[in-house]
Structure 1
Amino acid sequence: MLSARSLFQEILDNDESFRLFCSIAASGESQGGWENGRIAALVPPSERELAPKITRHGADEDKHGRIFNALMKKRGLEPVEIPPETDYTMLLEKYGIGLAHEKLKDDQPLTVQDIVTYLAHSRVTEQRASEQMELLRKHFSDDPDIGRAVRMISNDEDNHLAYCHEELLRFAYAGHGRAIQRTLRESALAEIRVYRDVSLAVMDHMGRILGWPRAKAATLAAGIHAVYAYDRLVGWRRMVALRMPERRDALSGPAQAAPEFA
């Protein structure tokens, strides 16, 4: 029977597919670390209290990138250059979601609206990350090879999502509610399209590595399209709702170290 667990187990058991999976994940996390680091450095004076939390967010992302690289190293594998069609972060930027890298490479301070845009984009992408890691934690939390990594990253992603909710609500109460809702909706609709395209590309590469029969590949592609159709119709709403999280001040303090991985 084709299931999320059996699919990922197949990817996990093959060195080449595992290397591609970890390389894609490590690249995205490292890119997120750089972006958050630049945003923290360019926070406008009126929002300097946010800088340590943004720095912590970036440090967590960097840590996740090191963890995925360490998982490869543990199996004697080297990272592989990722196909551009699987680069989730860069494709989001291509669609104009989040802050442009050209702006982040500059030394001009960001505006408050830039910070709102960053938080709204992060709220959407962290929703996806939290859900993906929750799925892996459900099936692989006790796995001897990746269980510790899955639990640690999943907990961090939940913290990131909580932080985005709390800070966006603070900005909403300060009068930015309309801009937040508009940016959240735009980000969510773009994200579900990019997620579909990246998922199709990743499954195509995995299928060729693992020699999937045409019927299996078609079934997986149909499932990805079905998820997109649901998200496009109603699922996007879960990505734009805001509520005060149970985890308050989730990104206070330094990032949790991961010496067992990196």
Structure 2
Amino acid sequence: MLSARSLFQEIIENDDSFQLFCSIAASGEAQGGWENARIAALVPDGMRGLAPKIVRHGADEDKHGRIFNALLRKRGLPPVPVPPETDYTMLLERRGIGLAHEKLRRSEPLTEHDIVVYLAHSRVTEQRAADQMEMLVTHFGDHPEVGRAIHMISNDEDNHLAYCHEELLRLAREGHGRTIQRVLRESALAEISVYRDVSLAVMDHMGRLLHWPAPKAALLAAGIRGLYAYERFSGWHRMVNLRMPRRRDALGGAPAPAPGLA
């Protein structure tokens, strides 16, 4: 019987599929680290109070990238190139979601609107990350090889999501509410489409590495498309609501170290 647990178990037990999984994850986290570092450097003067939290967000993402690379090193595996069709971050950018890398490479300060877009986009993508890590903690939190890393990354993703909720609510009170809701909706609808495409691409690569029979690959693809249909109909709403989080000032301190992992 196919389940999230059996699927991920199969992926982490095979060196080739584990290598690809960790390489994709490490690359995405590294991109997130770079993006947040650039945004922190370009925050407009009137919003400089956000810069330390954005720096912390980026430092966490960099740490996650190092954790995935450390998992590879422990198996004696080098990272492998990430297939472009599995590059979640860049595919979102091509859809016009978030802040373009071209803008972040320039030295001009960002605008308040840019920061609203960044936080709204992050609220959507961090929801996806937090949900995925919660699933992995449920099924693999006690795994001797990856359990500790999964718990650490999951806690960080929960912090990132809390930070996005809190800051967006503050900005809404300051008059950005309509922009926030518009960008949240646009980002969520684009994200669920990109997530479907990336999931299909990743499973296609995994299927070839693990020699899945055609019926199994077809069943997984149908499940991914079914999830997209649900999210397109109503599931995307969970990505756009805002509520004050239990974790307040979640990125107000120094990032937690990862001794022995990164």
User: So what's the TM-score if we normalise by structure 1?
Assistant: 1.00
Q: Name 2:205's counterpart in structure 1.
A: 205
Q: CA RMSD in A?
A: 0.4
Residues 86-235 of structure 1 aligned to structure 2 (within 5 Å): 86-235=86-235
Give the superposition deviation at 1:139. Answer: 0.5
| Paired AA for residue 192 in structure 1 | I
Q: What SS class does the counterpart of residue 96 from structure 2 fall into?
A: coil
Residues 57-72 of structure 1 aligned to structure 2 (within 5 Å): 57-72=57-72
Give the superposition deviation at 1:259. Answer: 1.9
Give the superposition deviation at 1:254. Answer: 1.2
Q: Name 2:249's counterpart in structure 1.
A: 249
Within 2, Cα distance between the matches of 1:132 and 1:169?
24
Q: Name 2:81's counterpart in structure 1.
A: 81
| Paired AA for residue 183 in structure 1 | V
| Paired AA for residue 45 in structure 1 | D
Within 2, Cα distance between the matches of 1:40 and 1:257?
21
Within 1, Cα distance between the matches of 2:155 and 2:257?
13
Give the superposition deviation at 1:243. Answer: 0.2
- State percent identity of aligned pairs: 76
Segments of structure 1 that go 5 or more residues without pairing to the other structure are: none
Is residue 11 from structure 1 mapped to residue 11 from structure 2 by the alignment?
A: yes
Give the superposition deviation at 1:111. Answer: 0.4
Cα-to-partner distance string for 1:118-177 (whole Å, 9 max, x where unaligned): 000000000000000000000011111001000000000000000000000000000000
Within 1, Cα distance between the matches of 2:124 and 2:107?
26
Segments of structure 2 that go 5 or more residues without pairing to the other structure are: none
Deviation beyond 2 Å, 4+ runs, structure 1? none
| Paired AA for residue 258 in structure 1 | A
Q: What SS class does the counterpart of residue 64 from structure 2 fall into?
A: helix
Cα-to-partner distance string for 1:206-255 (whole Å, 9 max, x where unaligned): 00000000000000000000000000000000000000000000001111
| Paired AA for residue 186 in structure 2 | E
Q: What SS class does the counterpart of residue 115 from structure 1 fall into?
A: helix
Alignment coverage as a number of residue pairs: 262
Within 2, Cα distance between the matches of 1:161 and 1:260?
26
Within 1, Cα distance between the matches of 2:185 and 2:126?
15
Cα-to-partner distance string for 1:40-91 (whole Å, 9 max, x where unaligned): 0000000000000000000000000000000000000000001000000000
| Paired AA for residue 219 in structure 2 | T
Cα-to-partner distance string for 1:10-29 (whole Å, 9 max, x where unaligned): 00000000000000000000
| Paired AA for residue 131 in structure 1 | D
Q: Name 1:33's counterpart in structure 2.
A: 33
Q: What SS class does the counterpart of residue 236 from structure 2 fall into?
A: helix
Within 1, Cα distance between the matches of 2:83 and 2:144?
29
